[in-house]
């Protein structure tokens, strides 16, 4: 799961638990109190709401289905809001709890959808407050309380909307910044290829190399030949351009599924999943030929390039360190054999 996805899951978990468990607690306490104070049906109503809230929480813990949770909790709290408003609650104190409603809806649905849902429920609450003689309405609010409640709930709704909006904007900015930071931490700035950390993040654990449970993977360490001379003769900027050119050639020569990284200065690491050592040899030697054929122009001069590579495979090595060490050993052999060549155990 991505960092952002994980963050959302954590937020949903925290939100569902605090909403449902606190809701269950307060509804139970005030339900029992009302029941014992001579309002049995109202008290029972609150206790039933408490029980349903707990069930919704339990359902979310078991299924982790956020959409179902959102729908059920929104429906439940909308009913509770209208119930408190219509009944007035114990000694008309039901209104006090109504202020939590817009905040709950905004935190569950965000500012836009939240505003729509709260809007619908506020229209229904105006019907309850101002339409006379509705059979299901038993409150005894004075006109002054109705006006003041309408004004204050609209104010809380507007504040809730603005706060949720700024929270969402801050979240978006932080998600974007995190994505940029993650890419910077895992990519080489010059070539855009994965850096060491990026490669290790994708394939770094020895579990990725277990050949008994997954297909063979071949690893190649490729190194530009006599790169120091290019730097010394033409300057560091030209050296950088050559590195970019080679990185692009690697990208175009290899498959989508292959992972290419810059392992060190002028050294590249290539992972070839689902590839035997023999197949890997063919692929990497073709890359060698392509690079040997390409020429880089500096002014009127043409620079010829070449790479040497060493290969190893998960068929023979089951730890990351031994795999890279073996590829390095073959690279060393390729350099000693005169460079511009590819070496493996079987060749
Ligand atoms: N332009 C540029 N040069 C780099 C970069 N990183 C490392 N280098 C240079 O790469 C050169 C590597 O030199 P060596 O290790 O001697 O390797 P080589 O000249 O390619 O010789 P062989 O590998 O034996 O063929 C050094 O001069 C480093 O300064 C980089 O990011 N940009």
pLDDT tens column, 158-194: 999 999 999 999 999 999 999 889 888 999 999 999 9
**Centroid of ligand 1 to alpha carbon of 215 (angstroms):** 34
Task: Considering only residues 39 and 203, tell me which one the structure prediction assigns the higher pLDDT.
Answer: 39
- Residues 6 or more apart whose Cβ sits within 8 Å of residue 244: 190, 191
Mean pLDDT of the chain: 90
Locate tokens 């940029």: which residue?
180
Average pLDDT over residues 321-331: 93
* pLDDT at residue 54 in the model: 95
* pLDDT at residue 308 in the model: 96
Q: Which of 265, 292, 303 to mutate to test the pocket of ligand 1 (most atoms within 8 A of CB)?
A: 265
Rounded distance between C-alpha atoms, residue 81 and residue 64, angstroms: 26
Considering the chain, what percentage of its residues have pLDDT values greater than 90?
70
Q: Evaluate if residue 327 carries a pLDDT over 70.
A: yes
Indicate which atom in ligand 1 lies nearest the CA of residue 223: 23
* 285 Cβ below 6 A of ligand 1: no
Average pLDDT over residues 320-338: 93
- Interface confidence (ipTM) of the complex: 0.95
Indicate which atom in ligand 1 lies nearest the CA of residue 237: 1
Average pLDDT over residues 279-289: 95
Query: Residue of the nearest CA to atom 26 in ligand 1?
Result: 228
Q: How far apart are the first and last CA of the chain?
A: 41
* 305 Cβ below 6 A of ligand 1: no
* 243 Cβ below 6 A of ligand 1: yes
**Centroid of ligand 1 to alpha carbon of 243 (angstroms):** 10
Rounded distance between C-alpha atoms, residue 312 and residue 296, angstroms: 30
Neighbouring C-beta atoms of residue 19, cutoff 10 Å: 20
Q: Evaluate if residue 1 carries a pLDDT over 70.
A: no
Average pLDDT over residues 321-335: 94
| Model pLDDT for residues 199-227, shown as the tens digit of each residue | 888 775 555 666 666 788 999 999 999 99
**pLDDT range class, residue 26, cuts 50, 70, 90:** very high
* pLDDT at residue 283 in the model: 95
Q: Evaluate if residue 3 carries a pLDDT over 70.
A: no
Query: Residue of the nearest CA to atom 27 in ligand 1?
Result: 228
* pLDDT at residue 16 in the model: 87
* pLDDT at residue 74 in the model: 93
Report the SS3 class of residue 191: coil
* 228 Cβ below 6 A of ligand 1: yes
* pLDDT at residue 2 in the model: 57
Alpha helices (H) along the chain = 3-36, 40-63, 66-87, 94-98, 100-130, 143-186, 196-203, 227-234, 236-253, 277-293, 320-336
| Contact present, 248 and 266 (Cβ < 8 Å) | no
* pLDDT at residue 208 in the model: 61
* pLDDT at residue 347 in the model: 46
| Contact present, 230 and 222 (Cβ < 8 Å) | no
């Amino acid at each position: 799961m991505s960092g952002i996805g994980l963050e959302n899951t954590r937020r949903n978990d925290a939100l569902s638990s605090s909403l449902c468990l606190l809701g269950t607690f307060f509804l139970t306490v005030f339900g029992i109190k009302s029941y014992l104070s001579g309002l049995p049906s109202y008290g029972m109503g609150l206790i039933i709401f408490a029980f349903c809230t707990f069930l919704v929480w339990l359902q979310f813990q078991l299924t982790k289905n956020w959409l179902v949770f959102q729908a059920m909790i929104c429906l439940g709290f909308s009913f509770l809001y209208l119930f408190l408003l219509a009944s007035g609650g114990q000694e008309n104190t039901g209104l006090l709890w109504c202020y939590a409603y817009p905040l709950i809806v905004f935190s569950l649905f965000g500012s836009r959808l939240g505003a729509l849902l709260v809007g619908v429920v506020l229209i229904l609450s105006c019907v309850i407050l101002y339409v006379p003689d509705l059979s299901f309405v038993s409150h005894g609010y004075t006109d002054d309380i109705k006006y003041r409640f309408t004004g204050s709930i609209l104010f809380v709704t507007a504040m809730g909307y603005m706060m949720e909006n700024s929270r969402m904007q801050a979240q978006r900015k932080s998600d974007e910044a995190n994505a940029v930071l993650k890419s910077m931490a895992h990519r080489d700035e010059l070539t855009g290829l994965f850096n060491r950390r990026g490669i290790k993040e994708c394939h770094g654990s020895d579990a990725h190399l277990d050949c008994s449970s997954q297909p063979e993977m071949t690893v190649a360490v490729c190194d530009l030949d006599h790169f120091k001379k290019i730097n010394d003769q033409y300057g560091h900027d030209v050296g950088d351009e050559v590195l970019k050119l080679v990185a692009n050639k690697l990208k175009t020569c290899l498959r989508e599924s292959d992972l290419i990284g810059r392992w060190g200065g002028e050294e590249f690491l290539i992972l070839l999943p689902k590839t035997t050592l023999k197949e890997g040899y063919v692929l990497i030697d073709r890359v060698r030929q392509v690079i040997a054929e390409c020429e880089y122009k500096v002014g009127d001069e043409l620079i010829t390039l070449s790479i040497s590579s060493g290969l190893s495979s998960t068929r023979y090595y089951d730890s990351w360190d031994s795999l890279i060490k073996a590829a390095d050993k073959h690279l060393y052999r390729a350099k000693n054999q005169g460079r511009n060549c590819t070496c493996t155990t079987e060749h």
